[in-house]
Structure 1
């Protein structure tokens, strides 16, 4: 089932940096995400959208749990870090051409909710 990622009307409650990331092949690329909602929003989700494809969830992480990977994704390629409720980071390891795409961060209050809040994306390009 497709995940519903809502964009908040106010807009800037979830921010991601950098917005555009060019990184050399073979290196790691790190994306950071933070939000200004309260500390109960401790769930963080990372998604990827490759050209011509839909958005796919890669990782779900909280401040207390290790990352949980979604279908087919693993720690061989991706990692996430989250020590506080308000922010977290996501890393794509050893960049390849096929990793180029849009990466999204979303946050929610409970893991079982469909309402995940995000207005953010990072365009990642693997370059020579």
Structure 2
């Protein structure tokens, strides 16, 4: 199971929660914030420094999971169509940690947010 963070709209509060399963990747466990505020999710792992690629996904109710952004420690972040750095700024300053912020929270941002890590591979041979 992939660790996840949940942003849920209830009245004027957003709930950001994480699911952990004892794996090498963990996320922010729980965060409450108001509508129009920002919510920042942190992700970390205990794998080696070669696992320096981080992926952030969003799953809205009744929809499939969508990749928001791909981040690394060695290149610019790559945002998928429909997602912007202005709304979803991400940070990746070292191999073990990263974060994703959802700015100006609205009810339509309610959903599950996942972090995943991957090892860099070179297929140039």
Name the TM-score class by shorter chain.
0.7 to 0.9
1:1-128 equivalences under 5 Å are: 7=2, 11-18=22-29, 20-110=30-120
Per-residue deviation, 1:71:
1.6
- Once residues 11 and 87 of structure 1 are traced to their aligned partners in structure 2, the CA distance between those partners, rounded to angstroms, is 17
**Displaced runs of 4+ in structure 1, greater than 3 A?**
none
Greater relative contact order, per chain length (Cα 8 Å cut-off, separation 6+)? 1
Equivalences, count: 105
Q: Please, which runs of 5 or more residues in structure 1 have no aligned partner?
A: 1-5, 114-128
- Once residues 121 and 88 of structure 2 are traced to their aligned partners in structure 1, the CA distance between those partners, rounded to angstroms, is 20
Q: Normalized against structure 1, the TM-score is what? A: 0.75
- Once residues 52 and 65 of structure 1 are traced to their aligned partners in structure 2, the CA distance between those partners, rounded to angstroms, is 33
Deviations 1:48-77 (A, max 9, x none): 000000100000000122211012111121
Instruction: Check 1:111–1:31 CA distance in 2 against 1; reply closer, same or farther (3 A cut).
Output: farther
Per-residue deviation, 1:110:
2.6
Q: Please, which runs of 5 or more residues in structure 2 have no aligned partner?
A: 3-20
- Once residues 56 and 68 of structure 1 are traced to their aligned partners in structure 2, the CA distance between those partners, rounded to angstroms, is 14
Q: Normalized against structure 2, the TM-score is what? A: 0.77
